Amino acid sequence: MKKFYVTTPIYYVNDSPHIGYTYTTVAADVLARWNRFIGSPTFFLTGTDEHGAKILESAKKMNREPKEHCDAIAGEFKSAWKKMNISNDDFIRTTDTRHEQTVREFLNKLYTDKKIYKAKYNGLYCVQCERFLVDTELEGGLCPDHKTRPVEQSEENYFFKLSDYRKKLIDIISDGSMGILPEGRKKEILGKLKLGLEDISISRANLPWAIPLPFDEAQTTYVWIDALINYISGCPQNFWPANVHLIGKDILWFHSVIWPALLLAVGLPLPEKIYAHGFFTVNGQKMSKTIGNVIRVEELTDKFGVDATRYLLLSAFPFGTDGDFSMDGLKEKYNSDLANNIGNLVSRVVTMVEKYTEGRIPEGQKSKKLWNELLLIKEHYENLDFNKILDTILKTVDSVNRYIDSSAPWKLAKEKNSKLNDVLSNLCETLWVLAHYLYPIMPQTAQRIWEQLGQAGKIESSNFLLDNKIVFTKVGSVGTEVGSVGKEEIKITRPKIPLFPRLT
């Protein structure tokens, strides 16, 4: 089975975690959970970006020592991810000794292989972006993203020979040997590369809060070079190259141009895919501290619960595109997709089995595979097409609800018609399969459905996604004693609390 290594950006510790970071991290978690479920050896890395002028400024503002500040915010990220049920295998911090050591080795290799040279540089630096801006990017002299005036910097720095890699980058991006997704982003990067590529400064002369260059301690490492190397320093043996670097579109240039060029320069394999998702606004406005519309993770989890928040983030708009969030929109989606659709289906089926067959999953004719379409989801996961995944799930739930309406089990029960068993057994199987496909997105919900179907243990130990066999296991058995649909011992239980209580 092919290994799977997925990463998120490492987030700046200038601010507490908000739903922008949660968006990317949940998406990466869904991919990691899916890959583990289908049996791939999986490694999922996230972490925090802790050096540079921006972090130093934010520490000063909060009257904290830089490291103390980083510890506090990195701790907030860790607990936010725990709360969101994020299954990262490691959490890398750029202040970790293991990371600093890797950065030194990486830079030393570039230096000894003569991929770095010293030169004078004059430029306009935006601390919030942590990069130099060129004149054509400015709007009225200001950074277009942060609306702040960049500062003029003139110093002697070390430069990486980025321009040497222009042709090679164009080739590997054009022929798809390093994937950039969605397709539109690939075109955007190729377009820019065709215009030219300049060398970049990789060090700073007067910035103490950064990793000193191993070959010239008077200079420190540029924060972006430091940060990108986290994907190597946090990667266990045999997992490189990354299969997916999941990022927002704001940092695509760094990941699709600078990062692969650095890897080519040190002779390491390139990531398989870089996926840049869209950016979202809140009620039509950019999420920012100044506007005061930053949504914290807890605001969503307090209202909707963890699983629903994961679902709502991924379903609000197509993954690769920009979109807008509004609390009203999220609530509407919660009620329609989760309370009325998925939650209601589970409750309908479980209630009928309890009422008509005393909680036993009956044996019946499998006349109809209601869940056939769910099998297509595998391909959507491979393409990171979260929208198609969710659409397929909702379509299936819709058609199962229609199947219930048309087969009217309540009538069959009244008539003591033996077809009732066929219908109920079909429905139980469908919920069983559905729970598997819901698991990566809503792991706790999937587990609850699993338990309501009378299944013991953890749903993630099920083999269904490997062998497509439905095997209902008797509660209390130790894994070897398996039953099939119809075993009397399997009792399904109606939950005391609905999966998704309706919000008013």
E-state strands within 161-213? 179-181, 200-201, 203-204, 212-213
Determine the interface stretch with ligand ME8 among 109-117, 133-141, 224-232, 450-458 (rule: CB under 6 A).
224-232
What is the spatial distance between Cα 111 and Cα 266, in angstroms, rounded to a whole number?
A: 10
Rule CB under 6 A: say whether 162 interacts with ligand ME8: no
Minimum gap (Å) between residue 314 Cβ and ligand ME8 = 12
Determine the interface stretch with ligand ME8 among 15-23, 177-185, 376-384, 464-472 (rule: CB under 6 A).
15-23
Minimum gap (Å) between residue 14 Cβ and ligand ME8 = 7
Minimum gap (Å) between residue 271 Cβ and ligand ME8 = 12
E-state strands within 171-309? 179-181, 200-201, 203-204, 212-213, 216-221, 244-248, 273-277, 280-282, 285-286
Structure tokens at 48: 């925090």
Length of the chain (residues): 504
Minimum gap (Å) between residue 287 Cβ and ligand ME8 = 5
User: Binder to ligand ME8 among 4, 5, 28, 49 (CB under 6 A)?
Assistant: 49
Q: Binding to ligand ME8 (CB under 6 A): which residues in 227-286?
A: 227-228, 230, 247-248, 250-251, 279-280
Are the C-beta atoms of 193 and 169 separated by less than 8 Å? Answer: yes
Q: Which helix (H) or strand (E) holds 120?
A: strand 116-126
Task: Please give the size of the binding site for ligand ME8, defined by CB under 6 A.
Answer: 19
Rule CB under 6 A: say whether 23 interacts with ligand ME8: yes
Q: Which is nearer to ligand ME8, 96 or 451 (CB)?
A: 96
β-pair type (4-12, 42-49): parallel
Q: Which is nearer to ligand ME8, 309 or 447 (CB)?
A: 309
Q: Which residue lies nearest ligand ME8, judged by its C-beta?
A: 20
Torsion of CA 105, 110, 114, 118, to 10 degrees: -100
What is the spatial distance between Cα 247 and Cα 244, in angstroms, rounded to a whole number?
A: 9
Rule CB under 6 A: say whether 10 interacts with ligand ME8: yes
Rule CB under 6 A: say whether 330 interacts with ligand ME8: no
Determine the interface stretch with ligand ME8 among 20-28, 101-109, 392-400, 407-415 (rule: CB under 6 A).
20-28
Q: Which helix (H) or strand (E) holds 188?
A: helix 183-195
Sign of CA dihedral 23, 374, 327, 299: negative
Rule CB under 6 A: say whether 295 interacts with ligand ME8: no
Task: Tokens 């497509």: give the residue.
Answer: 468
Minimum gap (Å) between residue 25 Cβ and ligand ME8 = 8
Residues that bind ligand ME8 (CB under 6 A): 9-12, 20-21, 23-24, 49, 227-228, 230, 247-248, 250-251, 279-280, 287
